[in-house]
Amino acid sequence: MAARSIEVAEVEPGEPSWTDGATAYLDDTRSPADQVRALAVQSSLLAAGSLDPEILGRLGTRRGVARRYLALEGHRALCMNEAFLPRVALSMIDRASAGSVDSAEASLGLALGRGPVPDPPADFGVLRVRRAMDAIERTAAGTGGTGPPPRGVPDVLPEIEDEGDGDDGDDDAGHLGQLLSSPVGGGGSIGRLLKRLLSSTRQRGSDGPPGADAATHVGRARSRGTEGAVSTRALAVHDNDEPDGVPTPLTYPEWDVHRRRYRSDWCTVVESDPGPEALVSMPMPDGIAFRGPLSRLGTGLVACRRRPQGDDIDIDAAVQARVDALAGSPVDEDCYVETVRQRRDLSVQILLDVSGSSNEAGPAGRPVHEYQRVVAGSLTSALHDLGDRVALHAFNSQGRSSVRMIRVKSFDDPVDSIVAQRLGGLVPGAYTRLGAAIRHGASQVEHGGTSKRLLVVISDGFAYDHGYEGGYGEADARRALTEARRSGVGCLCLSVGAGVEAADLRRVFGTAAHASVGTPDQLTSLIGPLFRAALRSADARRRVFQRKERTRERLELERSAT
C-alpha cells in the first residue's frame, strides 16, 4: 500500500496513529480491522507523496493547519491508492472531499485558507510534522553529513525525501509491530536475534566491507559543483577518429552528501563485451519457476475485433453481419471491439554485481556470486521467454574513472549459448561504485522501447570504492535510485545468499523495493509482488514529480507575467 518498505511499531494505548515516513505507528489495543484501516491511511499518505519534505516544511508546527490538511489529503490519498487497499479500508473514502483536490499542494492550499474543513476521522490519526522532519534530518546526518551544508545550500533540499528511511538501530527490538512484521527476507528483530545466535550475518567492519582493501578516506578539498538538481543523462564523448570496436566512455554525475550537491561528470562508465578468453560453458538457468509470477506483469492493452462483447462496436463486422442477414447467409454476431491485456510492454535491465565482496562465502557456505548469478540468469530466461525485452550487464569498478559494465546480453540478443558462456565466465573482483552503475542502467533501459521499464540490481549491497565508502557511497546509491524512479523507471534491488541485515540494505537502497533472501528458491513467491511494487512506486513518484514541475512552471509564468 505504501509503495515502499516500511516498519510497523506500536504506540501507547489510546494514542492516534502516525508515521515518520519509515515506520507506521499503530495502537495495537484496537481491533485488527481498525489497525488495518489506520495502516491503510498512513501507507496511502506515503504512496501519494502527501508527506514530502516540501509539504511538511510549509506545514511547520501549526497543528490546526496540519489537522485540516490531513482531513483533505487523507481522502485524496486513499482514493488515489484505492486499487491497493483492503476491503475494510474502502468505506473510509469520502469521494466528495477527495474530488475537491487533485494534489497535495491543492490540499495544502485549502488547509491554509479560511474555508470550513471537517475534522479528520479517528482512523486518519495525526500528522506529527516535527517528528517526521526530525527523521529526515537524522537520516541525512546518518549518511555521512557531519555538519551543516555549505553556505548558500538549503538545509533541506527538495530532492532528498528518498535518501533513507530513518534510523533503524537495535533499540527498536521491543516494538511489537517489528517483532511480528519483519521485512521481506527476515530482517526484523527476531531475524536479527536468530542471525546473531547462528553467527550467519555479514557485518560491515571498520576495515571496510568484505572483499575490499582498507578504507580510502574521502578528501575534504573543495570542488566546485552544481547546486540543486542536475540532469543525470550520460554525456557521451564521441570521437570520430576512434576505430570500430573501441568502447565509448560515458560520464555521469555523483552525489556528494557532505557538500549536498552533485559532482558533474565525475564518473566514467565503459561498456564492453567479454573477450573469447572470458567465455566459460555453463547451462543457462531456465527460469521456469519465475515465469508464472511474472506472466501478468508488463502487459499492454490490445484492441481485439470481432468479439462477442466489448466496449465499442466493430463497424466492419457489423456491416458484414447486416449484409449476411439480407443475403440470407448465417450471421456472425461477434460485432464488438474488446480491449484486453495481451501485448507484452515491459523492458528490464538487470545489473549483476561482480565486485570482490560477492566472491565471499555466504551463510550457506557457497560464494554469494553463485547465488546471484543463478538469479540473474533465471530472471533473464523467464522474461525473455515471456516476450519481454531484457538486458543483462555485470558491473564492478576501480575508482571513479573506471566503472566497468560487462555486456552479457543486450535487449536485441537472443538467450543462447553465447549468453550462457558470458554469464559463466564472470569472475568477481575490484569494487562497487553502485551509483554510476545504477545511473547507466537506468539510462539504458529508457531505450527499451516500451512504456513500462524496470531496473533490477542484484548485489550484496556493499557500496565501496576509492573515495566511495560508508555514508557517501550509500547516499549516492539512494540518490541514483531516486533519479531513476522520478523518470518512470521502476527499481528493484535483490540480495541473494549474502545474509545482509535489512537495516544495511535500507541505508543503501532507501525506499526502493528491495529484498534479502538466502537462496534463489525463496524468490519464487516474492518476485511477482516485488516487481509490481517497483513498477507502481516508479509510476506514482513520476506523477508526483511531474505535477511538482508543472506547478513550478506555472508559478514562474505567473511571476514573469506580473
CB 401 within 8 A of CB 395: no
Question: What distance in Å separates the CA atoms of residue 6 and residue 303, rounded to the nearest whole number?
Answer: 39
C-alpha cell at 155: 538545509
Please say whether the dihedral angle defined by the alpha carbons of residues 530, 532, 535 and 539, taken in this order, is positive or negative. negative
Beta strand 23-26 pairing with 7-10: parallel
d(CA 258, CA 265): 18
Show the 3-state SS of 431-463: EECHHHHHHHHHHHHCCCCCCEEEEEEECCCCC
Cell numbers standing for residue 494: 535483490
Angle between helical axes of 104-112 and 63-80 (0-180°, round to 10): 150
Say if CB 502 and CB 516 are below 8 A apart.
Answer: yes
Domains and CATH numbers, the chain: 7-172 (no CATH), 272-293+345-545 (3.40.50.410), 302-343 (no CATH)
Integer Cα distance of 443 and 201 in angstroms: 34
- Name the DSSP class of 403: E
Residues in the chain: 562
Nearest by Cα to 423 from 547, 274, 311, 555: 274
Run of H or E residues at 408 = strand 403-409
- The pTM (predicted TM-score) of the whole model is 0.56
pLDDT in tens, 324-369: 888 888 888 888 888 765 567 889 999 999 999 888 887 777 899 9
CB-neighbour burial class of residue 135 (10 A; exposed 0-12, middle 13-18, buried 19+): buried
Identify the CA nearest to 390 among candidates 419, 426, 433: 419
> Could you tell me which of 545, 520, 544 has the C-alpha nearest to residue 458?
520
Kindly report each contact of residues 198-204 with a partner whose C-beta sits within 8 Å and lies 24 or more positions away, as own/partner.
198/363, 200/363, 200/499, 201/363, 201/499, 201/500, 201/501, 202/360, 202/362, 202/460, 202/498, 202/499, 202/500, 203/501, 203/504, 204/462, 204/504
pLDDT in tens, 194-250: 544 444 444 444 344 444 443 333 333 333 333 333 334 434 444 434 445 556 789
Q: Per residue of the chain (562 residues), what is the pLDDT tens digit?
A: 887 788 899 988 888 999 988 889 999 899 999 999 999 999 999 888 888 877 887 887 778 888 888 988 888 889 888 878 888 888 888 888 888 888 888 888 888 888 888 888 888 999 888 888 777 666 555 543 333 333 333 333 333 334 443 333 333 333 333 333 334 444 444 555 554 444 444 444 434 444 444 333 333 333 333 333 333 443 444 443 444 555 678 999 999 998 889 999 999 999 999 888 889 888 998 888 898 888 877 555 667 788 888 888 889 888 988 898 888 888 888 888 887 655 678 899 999 999 998 888 877 778 999 999 999 999 999 999 888 899 999 999 999 999 999 999 999 999 999 999 999 999 999 999 999 999 999 999 988 778 889 999 999 888 999 989 889 999 999 999 999 988 889 999 999 988 888 888 888 998 888 899 988 888 988 998 899 888 888 877 777 777 878 888 888 888 888 8
Between CA 37 and CA 40 the distance in angstroms is 5
